[in-house]
Structure 1
Amino acid sequence: MASSSRPPSPVGIHRLSTQIASDSTLSIYRSFTALNARNLLYLQTELASLEDRLLRLDNRANDMTKGVHQWSLPRSWRAMRDENGEMWMTAMEVRKLLEAYNQALQAQAWLHSLKRPTPRARDALAKLIDHGSTSELDREYIALNHKDLISLGPDTKNEILAQFLEKYFYKFFRTPVESTTVSDFSAYASIRSAVRVLAIIVSSVLPISSIFVLYYIHSERTRLGLVVVFTVLCSTFLAFLSNATNVEIIAATSTYVIP
Structure 2
Amino acid sequence: MSEQKTSNRLKGYPFLAKLWSITQDGIARKFSHLAILNILYLQAELCHLEDDFMYERGKDLASGQTERVDCDWNWFLLKSPDLNKGSKQWQIALDIRERLEQYHSALLQYSEVLKLPSPTENQRRNVFGILGSSSLTNDGLGKFQSLDLAGINGPEVYQKRWSKDLVLLDAMEEDNDALSRWIVHPFFEFFHLIRKRSKKPIPQDLESGTGDDESLGICNYSSHHIRAVNHVVGALFAAVLPLSSIIILYKVQDMDLKVVLVCVFTILFCLAMSILSKSRRIEVVAATAA
- How far residue 145 of structure 1 moved from its aligned partner, in angstroms, is 0.8
Q: CA RMSD in A?
A: 4.2
| Separation in 2, partners of 1:225, 1:250 | 28
Could you report, residue by residue, the CA deviation over 1:193-218 in whole angstroms, capped at 9, with x for unpaired residues?
Answer: 234356678999xxxxxxxxxxxxxx
- Match of 2:70? 72
CA offset at residue 192 of structure 1?
2.4
Q: 1:158 aligns with which of 168, 178, 184?
A: 178
What corresponds to 1:92 in structure 2?
94
* 8 Å Cα contact 1:165/1:191 also seen in 2: yes
Q: Residue 121 of structure 1 corresponds to which residue in structure 2? A: 123
* Residue 248 of structure 1: how far off its partner (Å): 6.9
Q: 1:171 to 1:6 in 2, by over 3 A?
A: farther
Q: Does 1:192 align with 2:227?
A: yes
Task: String of CA shifts for 1:142-190, please: whole Å, max 9, x gaps.
Answer: 3021121122324422315x63342254263577446272112454723
Any idea what the Cα deviations from partners look like across 1:212-240, whole Å, max 9, x if unmatched? Answer: xxxxxxxxxx99449x9xxx9xx99xx69
Cα distance 1:92–1:109, how it changes in 2: closer, same or farther (>3 A)?
same
- Report the secondary structure of 2:28's partner residue: strand
Structure-2 residue corresponding to 1:81: 79
**Which residue type is aligned with residue 105 of structure 2?**
Q
Alignment of 1:24-35 (within 5 A): 24=24, 26-35=25-34
Aligned to 1:39: 38
Deviates more, 1:130-139 or 1:28-37: 130-139
Q: Which residue of 2 aligns with 1:13?
A: 13
Taking the aligned partners of 1:35 and 1:70, their CA distance within structure 2 comes to 41
**What amino acid is the match of 2:231?**
R
Partner of 2:191: 172
Bigger relative contact order, structure 1 or 2 (CA pairs below 8 A, ≥6 apart)? 1
What CA distance in whole angstroms lies between the structure 2 residues aligned with 1:247 and 1:52? 43
Do the aligned partners of residues 177 and 63 (structure 1) sit closer, same or farther apart at CA in structure 2, a change above 3 Å counting? same
Which of 213, 216, 219 is the equivalent residue of 1:182? 216
Contact 2:10–2:143 (Cα < 8 Å) also in 1: no
- Which 5+ residue runs of structure 2 have no aligned equivalent? 137-141, 207-213, 240-247, 253-257, 259-264
Q: Distance in 2 between matches of 1:254 and 1:71?
A: 63
Please give the secondary structure, in 2, of the residue aligned with 1:147: coil
Per the alignment, in what secondary structure is the counterpart of residue 62 of structure 1?
helix
TM-score (norm 2): 0.63
Q: TM-score, normalised by structure 1?
A: 0.69
Contact preservation (8 Å) 2:117, 2:176: no
Letter in 2 for 1:142: Q
Identity across matched positions, percent: 23
For 2:29, the aligned partner's letter is R
Paired residues in the alignment total 232
**AA matched with 1:181:** S
Deviation at 1:254, TM superposition (A): 9.4
Deviates more, 1:140-149 or 1:38-47: 140-149
